[in-house]
Amino acid sequence: MDPLSLPARSWLFVPATRPERFAKAAASGADRVIVDLEDAVAPPEKRRAAAALLAAPLPAGVPVYVRVNGHGTEWFEEDLATVARLRVAGILLPKADAAEHVARAAAALPAPQRVVPILETAVGLWNVLEVARAPRVERLAFGALDFQLDTGMRDEGETMGWARSRVVVASKVAGIAPPIDSVTVGIDDEAALGRDAERGRRFGFAGKLCIHPKQVERIHRAFGPSEAELEWARSLLAAVAARGDAATFSFRGTMVDRPVIERARRIAGTT
């Protein structure tokens, strides 16, 4: 199963210390499952949790990643050694501040496994293009909660628009898959989740990290085309087919040219 060939809308965290939840996470409909060795595991439990993964029942029907502890922590090397022995798609690498952090992780993992660096600091965001171009990077993720702590900024409205744009543009320049946006911490606040997810889609993210199975369905709706968008795209493409070689024309009061047609094709799933 090649993760790049599958949708990447929802990335659901599950604590590494709760193996009984792994199957439930996989059955939630999430596009990816992230077994978390970092924030979800207290320091005294980290080594035990990593060792236990070697015998844990990891799901087989969905791509699984492991969020390891970051470069420079006492658990980094051991986490990588553990992941190298697992049948998983790759890792999420927190606080990926430099390409050398990614390169060190990639060198410790077998070839099929990929790295998803998380940009969570001002330094990481400043170095985002070199991080994106590091070995075996699949895509980037934006960690807004830690970024807030590091910078003093607040993730409200469009305050972090520049940061999100920088992650998306760097991904495009580096030729990797579109990035994943940060979590929404309000588990029961569907309105906030919807606003956050739709904002991420506007900025060009492919999906969103999530912390509870109940967030999955709303994220999928936000990162998929609406009925109105599908109707527009299909109608426009029908008009294109009827006009043959017309380079530009008017459709519902707006000018249509190549970029508009390509957007319609993407929405309709015909590219």
Domain residue extents for the chain: 3-222, 227-268
Mean pLDDT of the chain: 93
Q: pLDDT value at position 270? A: 52
* pLDDT, tens only, 239-268: 888 887 667 888 888 888 888 888 888 877
Of the listed ranges 23-27, 184-188, 225-229, the one predicted with least confidence = 225-229
Q: pLDDT value at position 234? A: 84
Of the listed ranges 7-11, 199-203, 255-259, the one predicted with least confidence = 255-259
* Long-range contacts of residues 18-26, Cβ cutoff 8 Å, at least 24 apart: 19/52, 19/56, 19/57, 22/56, 22/57, 22/58, 22/59, 23/57, 23/59, 24/213, 25/59, 25/213, 26/59, 26/61, 26/62, 26/64
Q: pLDDT value at position 34? A: 98
Q: Token pair of 18, please?
A: 């709760």
- Residue 247, CA distances (Å) to 241, 243, 263 in order: 12, 9, 15
Neighbours of 237 (CB within 10 A): 16
Instruction: Give the chain's radius of gyration (CA, Å).
Output: 20
Distance CA 47, CA 23 (A): 22
Specify the DSSP class assigned to residue 13.
E
Mean pLDDT of 6-27: 95
- H/E segment holding residue 167: helix 161-174
In 64-164 the beta strands, taken as DSSP E runs, fall at 64-67, 90-93, 114-119, 141-142
Mean pLDDT of 77-86: 97
Distance CA 169, CA 162 (A): 10
Count the alpha carbons within 13 Å of 52 in the hemisphere toward its beta carbon.
15
* pLDDT, tens only, 152-168: 999 988 899 999 999 99
Domain 3-222 CATH superfamily: Phosphoenolpyruvate-binding domains (3.20.20.60)
Q: What percent of the chain has pLDDT over 70?
A: 98
Distance CA 43, CA 23 (A): 25
